[in-house]
């Protein structure tokens, strides 16, 4: 008998847990008919509200409910990783607790696996209900990312994905500390079917992402899946060397022809400011990669468990 594991990362989702649970079971008879057992695995990402209590209430009457709770908030990426490690299923799906990932798509997603795909991913085609400025920057980010990284990162991709065991094992073999999941999915490859759907707004509560968090997250994505900024820093360095060389030649020739009238103090200041600015910028880029390397070599655990059942 095969098993489908449903992984649900939760961070302060007390109002959504029960509702999610009910919605999910409404869509699982399809799997039971096929003889597939469903296990539900909540990953509590250090919630400060009653999320854990809500999950325990469900567990009291339903042994198919499992939970791993973290000792503090480690982020959704860590929750997904923990879910993959703990899930026993032959098929594994990640879903948000806020019902932005509609469980009603599951049967159709599963049919694609039967057709021979290894992984069925979803992307939202509209960004309804999102501030336009955020959509704009999101688009820019995806465009930039796909230009500078060999890993394909799809615009509007959600983490809602149904996968076969093989894909999950591949993802688990990537033990990195900086886990940019969207990139990791692209990096492992496998036959992936993309399904599209309209964005659905959160059932309860607020999104945990503000603009600043998303910005930092995009930097994370860039440093995790591209080294192009390092190359860009080097290219800027070369361009400035060439400019400097041309300027030196110009000054020598000018001095030989017209002598050396002292002057050029303001232009000198501008040049110094510009060049030192560029140097600091490039140093900053190098620093970003160094910081990431530093975090990786420490080999800290990706999450710590508080409680598990
Ligand atoms: N989440 C999490 N840890 C966090 C932030 C979010 O596990 O630090 C969970 C959250 O409970 C939800 C999912 O990740 O189930 C998606 O979060 P959210 O709805 O805030 O993101 P959005 O849908 O706006 O991208
Ligand atoms: Mg959401």
pTM of the complete model: 0.79
Cβ atoms 71, 46 nearer than 8 A: yes
Residue in 110, 134, 146, 91 with CA at minimum distance from that of residue 27: 110
* Phi and psi angles of residue 78, each rounded to the nearest 5 degrees, phi first: -65, -40
Residue 83 has pLDDT above 90, yes or no: yes
Summarised one tens digit per residue, pLDDT across range 92-142 is 999 998 888 888 889 989 999 889 899 999 988 877 767 788 888 888 888
**Distance between Cα 158 and ligand 2 center (Å):** 10
**Distance from C-alpha of 171 to C-alpha of 2, rounded to nearest angstrom:** 20
Residue 230 has pLDDT above 90, yes or no: no
For residue 66, name the pLDDT band (cuts at 50, 70, 90): very high
User: What value does the mean pLDDT take over residues 147-156?
Assistant: 81
Q: Which residues make beta-bridge pairs with 2?
A: 36
Q: What percent of the chain has pLDDT over 70?
A: 99
**Distance between Cα 203 and ligand 2 center (Å):** 8
Q: Could you please report the per-residue DSSP string of 97-114?
A: TTS-S-GGGHHHHHHHHH
Q: Which residues line ligand 1 (CB under 6 A)?
A: 9-11, 13, 45, 73, 75-76, 79, 96-98, 100, 202, 207-209
**In this structure, which residue's CA is closest to atom 24 in ligand 1?**
207
Residue from 129, 208, 217, 303 to probe ligand 1 pocket by mutation (most atoms less than 8 Å from CB): 208
């Amino acid at each position: 008998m095969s098993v489908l594991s449903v992984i649900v990362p939760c961070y302060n989702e007390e109002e959504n847990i029960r509702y999610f649970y009910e919605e999910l079971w409404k869509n699982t008879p399809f799997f039971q008919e096929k003889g597939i057992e469903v296990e539900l695995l909540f990953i509590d990402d250090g919630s400060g509200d009653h999320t854990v209590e809500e999950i325990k209430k469900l567990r009291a009457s339903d042994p198919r409910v499992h939970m791993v709770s973290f000792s503090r908030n480690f982020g959704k990426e860590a929750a997904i990783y923990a879910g993959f490690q703990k899930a026993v299923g032959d098929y594994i799906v990640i879903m948000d607790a806020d019902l932005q990932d509609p469980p009603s798509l599951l049967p159709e997603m599963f049919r694609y696996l039967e057709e021979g795909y290894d992984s069925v991913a979803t992307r939202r085609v509209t960004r309804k209900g999102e501030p336009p400025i955020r959509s704009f920057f999101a688009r820019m980010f995806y465009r930039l990312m796909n230009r500078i990284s060999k890993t394909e990162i799809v615009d509007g991709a959600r983490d809602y994905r149904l996968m076969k065991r093989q894909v999950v094992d591949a993802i688990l073999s990537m033990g990195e500390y900086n886990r940019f999941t969207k990139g990791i999915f692209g990096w492992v490859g496998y036959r992936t079917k993309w399904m599209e759907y309209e964005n659905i707004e959160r059932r309860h509560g607020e999104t945990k992402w503000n603009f600043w968090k998303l910005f930092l997250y995009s930097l994370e994505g860039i440093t995790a899946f591209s080294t192009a900024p390092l190359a860009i820093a080097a290219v800027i360095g070369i361009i400035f060397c060439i400019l400097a060389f041309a300027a030196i030649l110009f000054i020598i020739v000018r001095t030989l022809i017209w002598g050396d009238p002292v002057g050029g103090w303001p232009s000198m200041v501008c040049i110094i400011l510009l060049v030192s600015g560029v140097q600091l910028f490039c140093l900053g880029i190098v620093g970003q990669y160094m910081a990431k390397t530093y975090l990786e070599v420490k080999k800290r655990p990706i999450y710590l468990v508080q409680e598990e059942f």
